[in-house]
Amino acid sequence: MTEPTELSYTHGTSTTPLLGDTIGANLDRAIAAYPEREALVDVESGRRWTYTEFGAAVDEVALGLLAKGVRKGDRVGIWAVNCPEWVLVQYATARIGAIMVNINPAYRAHELQYVLKQAGISLLVASLAHKTSDYRSLVDQVRGGCPELRETVYIADPTWDAFTAGAASVPQDRLASLAGELSCDDPVNIQYTSGTTGFPKGATLSHHNILNNGYWVGRTIGYTEQDRVCLPVPFYHCFGMVMGNLGATSHGACIVIPAPSFDPRATLEAVQQERCTSLYGVPTMFIAELNLPGFADYDLSSLRTGIMAGSPCPVEVMKRVVGEMHMEQVSICYGMTETSPVSLQTRMDDDLEHRTGTVGRVLPHIEVKIVDPATGVTLPRGAAGELCTRGYSVMLGYWNEPEKTAEAVDTGRWMHTGDLALMREDGYVEIVGRIKDMIIRGGENIYPREIEEFLYAHPKIADVQVVGVPHERYGEEVLACVIPRDPADPPTLEELRAFCEGQLAHYKIPSRLQTLDAFPMTVSGKVRKIELRERFAEPV
């Protein structure tokens, strides 16, 4: 009788229970345990708060919201770059049971109006401007189409000062009485996923979802009250506000904001000045930091760990992050907004191959499986299929969209990620692509990640993205979009093909090459492959 094949299913066991707190109650625990330790530092403005001071500032904003008539379940929008006020609004809304709605700072009027209306936002907190966007003007443009929007408060503006001054009109003990009315299963956050087709969907997340996920991500990389976490990633995304902010405060660590938006120089200066022990980023951020003129002059010796997520990390980049940035315990995380976000994470002592060849193994209290996308049947280990995840981290649903929720979360409460993956014998998972990114050339399935990983080793290539574009005969062909190391000496298609010859199967070798200065990116740092496909669908 043959041995049964082990299936691509695993679950994270732990003797440590999940947290049953609300976010406000958990913050109170940190304040009581670490009253004089720093909780938040804003490098640009020089402002800093101990946990006691941070708690008082959160309470002031919470009382200000109550003074404005915000009640449990009301939606409060936050449309701002990274700043201390963003963090205060995050914890203040959680304190009173309001639902904070994260709005992408890059949104223009049409997108802003959609989110304000779809979420039913009654109060909006906004920056005054971001890059070329005048936020006050954009809000004025859409206000007429958003009947539920009562008021907008602007950060670094007299409206913010008036808003916080309003806190004095509400008795402080209102917060304690409200705390007794909140459940950890209440919705506390709506995050809009980047819609590649149609409008974005609002993933609705509870205290239990995001507090536990931040806690377990931080626990997995050994956070204590000694840690100082540098966050150049955007707060509007789970990476910043869950893995960053909640990951820090649930362990008594310090949140360090290096700049309002990503700046490689400001990031390295913040690590050096604040003696940060942890640094977050997507691979393109780490690449920008490593390639910064004078990189070697920064003292990064305080770093020990950090998180890289958002897209696969090239081996050479990981070697430099570990060796030159002192991040020996750097961790790779995999997740999605709808799962709060992290399901899989590498461990502090994993080797280089596991940190670059996989996205880690399942976190405690979570299940993952790999299924046949057509049948839903769990596949044997080593076979590629759709990655599904289940557990405390799966969202409550898409806000006011039950049909869309049912398409993503099945009757067994499994979240279908849309990612193609395979599970190794040791339980570690490799992402081989998005189901929709897979290239099908003449009947052959091609996973862009494999080709990208190979091309990263080309001496003339700094960064590369591979996409499928239409081809009359084969259905699709392979296009390599590259950012050259030296813009004056980019690789030619002939050089690229010669580099691949004998190393990759012939059908995987790019037949088209496009040289770019930069890739189109989402605000959270992911490359917009769909835009590359659309832009270069026709040969130039």
Q: What does the pLDDT look like over 227-249, one tens digit per residue? A: 999 999 999 999 999 999 999 99
Tokens of 397: 């649903």
Q: How confident is the model at residue 106 (pLDDT cuts 50, 70, 90)?
A: confident
DSSP state of 239: I
pLDDT at 442: 84
Computed from CA positions of residues 85, 86, 92, 95, in that sequence, does the dihedral angle turn out positive or negative? negative
**The pairing of beta strand 129-130 with beta strand 228-230:** unpaired
Q: Quick check: 195 pLDDT over 60?
A: no
Q: How confident is the model at residue 81 (pLDDT cuts 50, 70, 90)?
A: very high
Dist. CA 221–CA 56, nearest whole Å: 29
User: Picking from 63-67, 152-156, 447-451, 531-535, which range would have the lowest pLDDT averaged per residue?
Assistant: 447-451
Mean pLDDT of 500-525: 89
DSSP state of 532: H
Q: How confident is the model at residue 453 (pLDDT cuts 50, 70, 90)?
A: confident
Dist. CA 209–CA 261, nearest whole Å: 26
Mean pLDDT of 243-271: 98
- Residue among 110, 99, 106, 118 nearest 202 (CA): 118
DSSP state of 3: P
- Do residues 278 and 229 touch, judged by C-beta distance below 8 A? yes
Q: Quick check: 209 pLDDT over 90?
A: yes
Beta-carbon contacts of 169 under 8 Å, excluding residues fewer than 6 positions away, are 67
DSSP state of 241: I
Residue 253 has a CB neighbour count (10 Å cut-off) of 24
Residue 19 region, left (φ>0) first, then alpha (ψ -120 to 50), else beta? Answer: beta
Tokens of 307: 């998180």
Residue type, 19: L
3-state secondary structure (DSSP) of residue 137: helix
Question: H-helix or E-strand containing 461?
Answer: strand 461-471
Q: Quick check: 186 pLDDT over 70?
A: yes
| Tens digit of each residue's pLDDT (9 = 90 or more) over 275-307 | 999 999 999 899 999 999 999 999 999 999 999
Beta-carbon contacts of 161 under 8 Å, excluding residues fewer than 6 positions away, are none
Q: How confident is the model at residue 459 (pLDDT cuts 50, 70, 90)?
A: very high
Residue type, 539: P
Tokens of 383: 């076979």
Q: How confident is the model at residue 501 (pLDDT cuts 50, 70, 90)?
A: very high
Q: How far is CA 504 from CA 353, 387, 447, in A?
A: 20, 26, 12
For residue 479, the cross-strand partners are: 467, 512
Angle at 131 between CA 128 and CA 136, to 5 degrees: 25
pLDDT at 524: 60
Domains assigned to the chain: 23-423 (3.40.50.12780), 443-535 (3.30.300.30)
pLDDT at 196: 44
| Mean predicted lDDT score pLDDT of the chain | 94
- DSSP labels, 5-31: PPBSEEE---SSPPP---HHHHHHHHH
Mean pLDDT of 512-523: 90
Question: H-helix or E-strand containing 388?
Answer: strand 385-391
Strand ranges (DSSP E) for 85-175?
A: 99-102, 121-126, 129-130, 133-134, 151-154
3-state secondary structure (DSSP) of residue 425: coil
- Do residues 307 and 230 touch, judged by C-beta distance below 8 A? no
Mean pLDDT of 177-202: 87
Is the previous residue joined to 158 through a cis bond, with omega within 30 degrees of 0? no
3-state secondary structure (DSSP) of residue 199: coil
Tokens of 272: 């050096």
Percent of the chain residues topping a pLDDT of 90: 85
User: Picking from 231-240, 284-293, 399-408, 442-451, which range would have the lowest pLDDT averaged per residue?
Assistant: 442-451
Q: Quick check: 445 pLDDT over 80?
A: no
The larger pLDDT score, comparing residue 73 to residue 439, is at 73
Dist. CA 154–CA 171, nearest whole Å: 24
Q: Please tell me the pTM assigned to this model.
A: 0.87
Percent of the chain residues topping a pLDDT of 70: 98
Tokens of 442: 């003449």
Task: Write the secondary structure of 498-513 as one string of H (helix), E (strand) and C (coil).
Answer: HHHCCCCCHHHCCCEE
Q: Quick check: 368 pLDDT over 50?
A: yes
